[in-house]
Amino acid sequence: MNKIKSILVTGGAGYIGSVLTHKLVELGYNVRIIDSLIYGRDGISDLISKNSVELIEKDIRDEKTLNEAVKDIDCIIHLAAIVGDPFCKKIPVAAKQINEDATKKLVNISKKQGVKRFIFASTCSNYGSASTIVDENSPIQPLSLYSKTKVNSENFILNTKNSSFEPCILRFATAHGLSPRMRFDLLLQEFLRDAILDKKIRIYGPNSWRPLSHVDDISNACITTIKSSKNLISGQVYNVGNTSENYTKKMLAEIIQEFVPSTEIEITGSKTDLRTYKVSFDKIKNNLRFISKKTIRNSIQDILSKIEKGNLDPRASEFSNMSKLTERVKAF
C-alpha cells in the first residue's frame, strides 16, 4: 500500500511548481516547499496566506537547510533548477551547483532521513539531436550545460535505488500553458508573445522537432508518479508528454498564425542550437496509464483570452527567467 502523505516540492513557487503545489494541496497532501523565491511568491501567495503549505524560503545549496527540509517527508518532487541552456550559460558555476551538486546532496540526505520516494524533474532535451523518434531506451546526447547537469544527476539518482528508497526520473517535454507564476520565455509562449507584440515570429532551425506538454499535464504526471506502486516507479525513467504533441518550430509558428492571422513568419539563419528530438511517450501511457490531455491549441486559446481580458501582460519582465536569474543568482 502506497502511504505517501507528506511531500516536499523543491522549486514549489516556480512555473511548474506553483501549478503542482495547488493540485497537491487540493488532494489533501501535507505540502512543504523549499524555494529561494528569486521569482517572487506570486505563484503560491494564496496558499501561504491560507497556511495551506509550509514554506522554507532558502537556497537548496545549503546543506543545513536540506536537512531541515526533508524531516518527516515521505516523498520529494525535485523541481528546483536553473532551467534551460540560455540561463545556464549566463551563470554556469551556479547552474552546476544548483542543478547537479545540490541534487546529489539532497538525494543523500533524503536516503539518510528515510524518505521513501524521490521524483526528479529532468528533460527531453537530454536526447540532443536524433534523426528517429526516441524513447527512454534511446541513447542520450546532452548538447548543453543544462542537459549535462540533468544527465549527470539522473545517473547518480538511479544508482541510489534500494528496497527502501524509490527514485524515479521524469523527463519533461517543453512546458507550456498558464501558470500562477507565468513565463513568456518558453518556446510556445515566446512565439505567441512575438506574434502579439511584433506581428512577426523569427525562427532559427525551423525543422527542429520539439515535444510539448501543458504544465497541468506535467503536474498530473508528477501526481500519478506519487500514487503509482513501487514496482512501476522505483528506478524507472519516464518521458512526460504526448506523442501527438511533437512539432517542428515552423509547425508551432503556423498554428499560432491561425490564432493571430496578422503574424509574419521569418526563417532566419541557424543558431548554434543543434537540438532536434521527436519523442515517444508510450511508456508512461502503457505502464502508468497516464495520458496528457491538453494541447498547444488549448494553451494559445487560454493565454490569448487572458491577455484580451487585460489580466496578463506579455511585455512584463517578471515573465522572463533571464532577467531575474542574472540579477539574483550568485555562485556559492
- Are 303 and 255 contacting, i.e. CB atoms less than 8 angstroms apart? no
Residues 222, 224: Cα–Cα separation, whole Å: 5
Strands 6-10 vs 30-34: parallel, antiparallel or unpaired:
parallel
Residues 81, 95: Cα–Cα separation, whole Å: 8
Asked if residue 187 belongs to a domain, the reply is: no
Q: What is the pLDDT of residue 85?
A: 86
Asked, for residue 281, whether it belongs to a domain, the answer is: yes
Looking at the DSSP bridge assignments, the partners of residue 168 are 119, 236
Residue 152 lies in a domain: yes
Residue 94, domain CATH: 3.40.50.720
- Whole-number pLDDT of residue 324: 58
CA distance 80 to 69: 13
Residues with pLDDT less than 50, the chain: none
Please tell me the predicted confidence (pLDDT) of residue 315.
87
Helices within 40-101 (DSSP H only): 45-49, 63-69, 85-90, 92-96
CB 182 within 8 A of CB 15: yes
pLDDT given for residue 306 in this prediction: 96
Closest CA to 127 of 137, 113, 117: 137
Residue 115 covered by a domain: yes
Total domains in the fold of the chain: 1
**CB contact set of 177 (below 8 Å; sequence gap of 6+):** 214, 215, 216, 294, 298, 299, 302, 303
> What pLDDT score was predicted for residue 270?
64
Q: What is the pLDDT of residue 79?
A: 98
Q: Which residues pair with 5 in a beta bridge?
A: none
What is d(CA 242, CA 248) in angstroms, rounded to the nearest whole number? 15
- Which pLDDT score is estimated for 268? 87
> Residue 31 in contact with residue 77, Cβ under 8 Å?
no
> Strand locations in 187-331, DSSP E?
200-204, 209-214, 236-240, 246-248, 264-268
Q: 166 near 114, Cβ under 8 Å?
A: no
State the CB neighbour count (10 A cutoff) for residue 298.
Answer: 15
Q: Is 328 a domain residue?
A: no
Query: Tell me: the pLDDT tens digits for 63-99?
Result: 999 999 999 999 999 999 999 888 898 999 999 999 9
CA distance 59 to 204: 35
Instruction: List the domain range (segments joined by +) for residue 78.
Output: 6-179+212-243+276-295
